[in-house]
Amino acid sequence: MAKKLWDKNSTVNPEIERFTVGKDRELDLQLARYDILGSIAHSAMLHSIGMLDSNETQQLHNELRNIYAIVENNEFVIEEGVEDVHSQVELMLTRKLGDTGKKIHCGRSRNDQVLVDLKLFTRHRLSMVCEAVKTLFDTLLEQSNRHKDVLMPGYTHLQVAMPSSFGLWFGAYAESLTDDMLFLQAAYRMCNRNPLGSAAGYGSSFPLNRTMTTELLGFDSMNYNVVYAQMGRGKCERNVAYALAGVAGTLAKMAFDACLFNSQNFGFVKLPAECTTGSSIMPHKKNPDVFELLRARCNRLQALPTDITLIMNNLPCGYFRDLQIIKEVFLPAFDELLECLRMATYIIERIEVNKNILDDKRYDAMFSVEEVNRLAAAGMPFRDAYKKVGLQIEEGTFVAQKDISHTHEGSIGNLCNDRIAALMESIYGSMDFASATTAENKLLGRE
């Protein structure tokens, strides 16, 4: 059995070891490639301050890149008895390079190793989420433009209220995603800061060059104060979780609308046949299971910030093992949200819109405000016009005039989709994902 990095010839009760390691060996597989990137940058920095000679540095880089290839081929494993990804990588280096492999841990702790791993992992996954959000945004805006003239009822209190349109409905969720992208932008910027070199949270007596590792890893800047770098464990995850929850909230609301509008009582939209399921007893059923599951998953994602807050809420500064548990709820959240975004995009792209909703007379009352406005525009006091139309509705004499004209910004006749698109582009385009990718490829010797 492999020795622990902290082993001092003592024996740990196997049950205690099982409890303390928890799910780290399973979850840390997702961090392996980032642990290797951090180690390449750290060893290059150690060479620059004279802790490694050129030959040792080259050996370490070659072997770390070999291990990275193993990760890419899905052949990397954390062996039985090895606590985590940091221990596994160092073990593999030591087996191949002997004492040279043992030198790589100078000036760092597993504390700042996991911090930098999580930052690099989160940075990459956030870029994937941003891309998926932008794809859904584009799909929604395309549908909004395509169906801008198709009217539908708008609702308040689930009562038919005023004229709306599919242009407005699709476009509303597109614009909601622009606000969500703002949170993602902030989350990306907060996580794109380098904690490496903070060691166990109090720095090191080695003359570490933290600016160098910041540049090598493609971070915007570093977490300067080493104590704060450690305090960022949990805080970074919580802030990112709020950004993910914002996207999830938009998706959950849209899914509810879609389920409602797809039901026979509404019949506003028709979901793709391949996206519905049937009943074991009722042959007519086409259930919107995808949107129902998407709604539930996204509602669960909205609890993520609370989960993380309650794990870290009463901890003082410094590292505590409590923080390990955050990985269990945080790491899987990205795949969960990405899958929901892909499903939503697939269905929204293929959804069929009912263009004849207003043929049903039950929706005539939604034009009441239009009539009030016509009377008011002709000179009748608004309150008198309101009363006149209200009495017509009560008496059953109201006749809906369905030729409406809404021209102000953001209304049925002036969706401002070009401005919404420009807003999204300004936010999404401001995030420099390419610099991070370029830096990582250079570390791997691919550029």
CATH of the domain at 98: 1.10.275.10
Give the pLDDT confidence score for residue 4 in this predicted structure.
Answer: 54
**Residue 94 pLDDT greater than 90, yes or no:** yes
Residue 311 and residue 370 in one domain: no
Look at residue 434 and tell me if it is in a domain: no
Are 133 and 247 a contacting pair, CB within 8 Å? yes
Are 374 and 365 a contacting pair, CB within 8 Å? no
List, for residues 152-197, the tens digit of each pLDDT value. Answer: 999 999 999 999 999 999 999 999 999 999 999 999 999 999 999 9
List, for residues 431-440, the tens digit of each pLDDT value. Answer: 999 999 999 9
Look at residue 147 and tell me if it is in a domain: yes
Residue 330 and residue 229 in one domain: yes
Residue 125 and residue 96 in one domain: no
Residue 65 and residue 182 in one domain: no
Choosing from 325, 357, 389, the residue where a domain stops is 357
| Amino acid letter, residue 167 | G
Interaxial angle between packed helices 110-146 and 85-97, expressed in degrees from 0 to 180 and rounded to the nearest 10: 120
Residue 251 and residue 130 in one domain: yes
Q: Which among 408, 388, 363 has a CA at the least distance from the CA of 162?
A: 363
Residue 147 and residue 229 in one domain: yes
**Residue 1 pLDDT greater than 50, yes or no:** no
Residue 64 and residue 88 in one domain: yes
Residue 75 and residue 149 in one domain: no
Residue 97 and residue 185 in one domain: no
Give the pLDDT confidence score for residue 7 in this predicted structure.
Answer: 55
- The CATH number of whichever domain residue 212 belongs to comes to 1.20.200.10
What domain count does the chain have? 3
Look up residue 328 and give its two tokens.
């269990």
Residue 89 and residue 184 in one domain: no
Give the pLDDT confidence score for residue 8 in this predicted structure.
Answer: 52
Look at residue 6 and tell me if it is in a domain: no
Q: Which pTM does this prediction carry? A: 0.93
Give the pLDDT confidence score for residue 24 in this predicted structure.
Answer: 73
List, for residues 139-162, the tens digit of each pLDDT value. Answer: 999 999 999 999 999 999 999 999
List, for residues 378-399, the tens digit of each pLDDT value. Answer: 999 999 999 999 999 999 999 9
Question: What mean pLDDT comes out for the span 78-106?
Answer: 94
Residue 311 and residue 398 in one domain: no
User: What domain range is 373 assigned to?
Assistant: 360-420
**Residues paired with residue 153 on neighbouring β-strands, in sequence order:** 163
Give the pLDDT confidence score for residue 12 in this predicted structure.
Answer: 66
Look at residue 88 and tell me if it is in a domain: yes
Look at residue 115 and tell me if it is in a domain: yes
Residue 255 and residue 305 in one domain: yes
Q: Where are the beta strands (DSSP E) in 136-206?
A: 151-156, 159-165, 193-194
